[in-house]
Structure 1
Amino acid sequence: MAEHTLPYTASESVKQPKRLRLGLNIQNEGTVKTIERIKEAEAAGVEQVWMTQSPTPGDTLMTLALAGAQTQRIRLGTSIIPIFPRNPLAMVLETVTINDVVPGRFRLGIGPSHRPIMEKVYGVHFSRPLEHLHEYTTIVRTALNEGSVNYDGNNYHVHAQLPSASPTPVLISALGEQSFRLAGQVADGAISWLCPVPYLLKTSLPALQQGAQEARRPTPPLVAHVIVAMSDDRTAIQDVAQKRLQGYTTLPFYRNMFEAAGFPLGKDNAGFPALIDELVISGTGQQVAERLDALLTQGVDELLIMQVPVKDEEKELQQLMRIIGSM
């Protein structure tokens, strides 16, 4: 696997110790606070963190570069960086810069995001998301792994020679069968978001494997997004989780995936509570640890863990970090 310690294939991923297969989603709390949070995670034994690029907080790639310079071993990943606002060559150069700071510790997760966000917030045209993602991923992976790229597609035209290659796993976001199949064809992993685990195992994993078989390449890792609430108060969990996840119910890609997974939201989101019950892992520290451990044996390669605070956000996050770091 070259000089990288990060997994490029599913078979490499599952050979890692369990702690290396767990990643914590870090919320952007402002650059300085976020860097301190990543340092806290490393001190607690967390082996990898992921950050999302939202429209308005600080830049995730820059934050991770700065955090990397102040940490020693923790792996860093994006989940995800939207592709439409960034030229693929610009994404490559930012990735190269991060690799110069944290060689072998960074994974780039990219995806198209959603029409309402791209067009209403960023003001960029959103069309043919999978076609754009296919071309974009090909350009970025080629440039990083080979040190040069000459590509002419329907949407992008990029011709560049870099000083050297900067091999980096490039993962893509995935919700529906087509996106998981695309990940198998062209990416170094698929990052799910709010997908029930039974759906991932029954629908997503076979699509990922099929895409890899069609491209005659090893199956890349499947990173499953899971939500954890350090509480056994199911009423409180329902309340805070619905508030935290409400925005996703307005996005067609998610509603379609929920229905395909057997959790149609229906009129007035009547099916939302049942979906929350399926998505959120909760209980005592031991119960949460046992559930995370069980998921790693069921067929997913890695877990991307997002905290939903119930009563004391700071205390619960510190407890979750310790659980992840001790597995």
Structure 2
Amino acid sequence: MRYSLLLPIAVSRPEQAVPFANLVRWTRAQRFWQGQTYTIDNHHLVSWLAGIGIRVPTGFGVNLTPLRSPYHAATEARSTALATGCSVLAAYGPGATSYQRALLGRPYKSPLTATREYVTTVRALVRGESVKAEGAYCHTAARLVPAQSPPVKIGVGVLRPKMAAVAGQIADAAVTWLCPPAYLRDVLIPHMHKSSAEAARDPVPVTAVVPCALAKDGRDMRDMAFATVGQHLQAVHYQATLRHAGVEVTGRRTDADQLLGKDGFLYGTPSDIRDGLGRYADAGVDEVVLNVMGVAAIKGARAAVKELEEIFHVL
């Protein structure tokens, strides 16, 4: 299994990302991941890092489809690969219904169809194909200007079985958030493998973003868990996902106890974190992405860098 890291802070100056990106150069971390950003655009940040000499494999997960056309998404993903000289894995998802309505005027009638059309179009474009797509949501008649680029893979953000099936059919990868290993093993990955087999494709690899923190003096596990994933726990689609996984979300701090019990949040010594990540590997996950956003929020960015160093040291 591969290990990567998520940028755990919302940067307002690109210099703030340097220590985290450098961990991909200095530790076992293999990819520098970012979620959807709203201060400095995540593609722009990676290009800035490349400009000062920090060129590392990158991941975007999950970027939200209402923000950009498929052609724009393909251009950004490939331009990132060209700027860094390294591989890119860009995953996309529709976001919450309220988010779709805010940006598009109305939500997707079928988020599954919208995602299928979007990812299929972006994937074809970065592969150098000439695309003529006339779907319910994506209308594209174009191709990217030919250029020799490092590999660009296109993924799907997956939370529930139907989107897992879409990923298995059309994507290069599936990227999950807040999905405990048993739920991945018993529900999502079987759906992906089944749909991949039906499409006569190899099984789609799975990347799991895993929230975690080290147990240290003066820390409270519930505070750390809520600082890491509390915002997601307020979202209806994440609540539905966790209920599918056997976690009854109430919006209270006690939700952290259930997350910890299901390995949806890892907390303990570096060895405990290593063992918890091993359970993701046993579930069939190909890459785990360490998410220490709670540490950064409560203790600061410097503490988050040290946290990641300690965990990678034992991996």
Q: State the TM bucket, normalised to the shorter chain.
A: 0.7 to 0.9
Within 5 Å, give how 1:278-317 maps onto structure 2.
278=262, 279-307=264-292, 308-309=294-295, 312-313=299-300, 314-317=302-305
Preserved CA contact (<8 Å) 2:6 2:291: yes
Letter in 1 for 2:269: T
In 1, are the aligned partners of 2:173 and 2:206 still within 8 Å (CA)?
yes
The CA RMSD measured in Å over matched residues stands at 2.4
- 8 Å contact kept, 2:157–2:176: yes
- Match of 1:146, SS? coil
CA distance in structure 1 between the partners assigned to 2:286 and 2:268 by the alignment: 23
Does the aligned pair in 2 maintain the 1:227–1:306 contact within 8 Å?
A: yes
**In 2, Cα distance between equivalents of 1:158 and 1:197:** 37
1:144 equivalenced with 2:144 (yes/no): no
Aligned pairs for 1:186-265 (under 5 A) are 186-231=170-215, 236-265=220-249
- Per the alignment, do residues 71 and 302 of structure 1 end up closer, same or farther by CA in structure 2, a change over 3 Å counting? farther
Shift of 1:24: 0.5
Compared CA separation, residues 71 and 206, structure 1 to 2 (3 A): farther
Helix, strand or coil at the partner of 1:84: helix
Equivalent position of 2:32 in the other structure: 49
Letter in 2 for 1:174: V
For 2:166, the equivalent position in structure 1 comes to 182
Write the distance in 2 (CA, Å) between the matches of 1:163 and 1:272.
49
- Unaligned 5+ segments in structure 2 are none
Relative to structure 1, the CA distance from residue 117 to residue 37 in structure 2 (aligned partners, 3 Å threshold; closer, same or farther) is farther
Cα 1:211–1:303 shift into 2, 3 Å: same
Unaligned runs of 5+ in 1: 1-17
Structure 1 residue 319 corresponds to structure 2 residue 312: no
Q: Please identify, of 299-308 and 69-78, the stretch whose mean Cα deviation from structure 2 is larger.
A: 69-78
Q: Distance in 2 between matches of 1:254 and 1:264?
A: 11
Matches within 5 A, 1:4-43: 18=1, 21-26=2-7, 27-43=9-25
Q: Is the 8 A contact 2:160 2:188 kept in 1?
A: yes
SS in 2 for 1:169: strand
> In 1, Cα distance between the equivalents of 2:114 and 2:273?
38
Tell me how far 1:34 sits from its aligned partner: 3.9
CA deviation after TM superposition for structure 1 residue 201, in Å: 0.6
**Deviation, structure 1 residue 114:** 1.0
Determine the C-alpha separation between the residues in 2 that align with 1:123 and 1:173: 19
For the residue of structure 2 that corresponds to 1:154, the secondary structure is: coil
Map 1:20-99 onto structure 2 (within 5 A): 21-26=2-7, 27-45=9-27, 46-54=29-37, 56-71=38-53, 74-99=56-81
Aligned pair count?
305
C-alpha contact (below 8 Å) 1:44/1:321 kept by paired residues: no
* Higher mean displacement: 285-294 or 192-201: 285-294
Per-residue CA distance 1:211-237 (angstroms, 9 max, x = gap)? 111211011111112111111569701
Q: Normalized against structure 1, the TM-score is what?
A: 0.84
Q: Distance in 2 between matches of 1:213 and 1:271?
A: 40
Deviates more, 1:157-166 or 1:233-242: 233-242
Matches within 5 A, 1:129-168: 129-164=111-146, 166=149, 167-168=151-152
Shift of 1:73: 5.6
Could you tell me whether the CA contact under 8 Å between 2:211 and 2:229 is conserved in 1? no
TM-score normalised by L of structure 2:
0.87
CA 62–260 in structure 1, closer or farther in 2 if over 3 Å, else same: same
